[in-house]
């Protein structure tokens, strides 16, 4: 019995394998030249359309990013200008305070020298 089972299994495997081979051959058989060119053309046009869509999306995003960066840059420039103006004003005030202090100290030294000389 085991030999009969093995033989029937081999026969069944051969039949199933042959059937799958025939089905695969029919499904994968080359198409006519006109049909193949038509499918390639359709796929090419589909790919072109998708590429144009992606390029348009990338262009739009690039414009948005450029606009955002431009706005942010303007804000930063304004902030830096304001800070620079504030620092310049503070420097002028400090410079004037130093001049006033120096003049006051100079006057005090002159007064003391004058009092000492007399």
Instruction: List, for residues 4-40, the tens digit of each pLDDT value.
Output: 566 667 877 888 888 887 777 666 767 676 776 777 7
pTM: predicted TM-score of the whole model, two decimal places: 0.43
Yes or no: say if 31 and 39 are a contact pair by the CB < 8 Å rule: yes
The two tokens of residue 55 are: 């390029």
Per-residue model confidence (pLDDT) at position 1: 47
Q: Which residue carries 């100290």 as its tokens? A: 105
Per-residue model confidence (pLDDT) at position 48: 82
**Alpha helices in the chain, H assignment, sequence order:** 2-28, 33-117
Q: Can you tell me the distance from the alpha carbon of 21 to that of 13, in angstroms, rounded to the nearest whole number? A: 12
Q: Can you tell me the distance from the alpha carbon of 1 to that of 53, in angstroms, rounded to the nearest whole number? A: 67
The two tokens of residue 60 are: 């739009």
Instruction: List, for residues 55-69, the tens digit of each pLDDT value.
Output: 888 889 889 988 898
The pLDDT mean for the chain works out to 83
């Amino acid at each position: 019995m085991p030999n009969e089972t093995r033989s029937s299994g081999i026969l069944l495997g051969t039949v199933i394998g042959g059937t799958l081979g025939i089905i695969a051959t029919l499904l994968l058989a080359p198409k006519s030249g006109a049909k193949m060119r038509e499918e390639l053309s359709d796929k090419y046009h589909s790919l072109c359309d998708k590429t144009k869509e992606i390029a348009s999306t990338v262009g739009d995003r690039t414009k948005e990013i450029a606009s955002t960066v431009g706005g942010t840059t303007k804000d930063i420039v304004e902030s830096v200008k304001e800070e620079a103006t504030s620092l310049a004003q503070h420097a002028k005030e400090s410079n004037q305070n130093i001049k006033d202090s120096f003049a006051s100290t100079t006057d005090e030294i002159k007064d003391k020298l004058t009092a000492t000389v007399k």
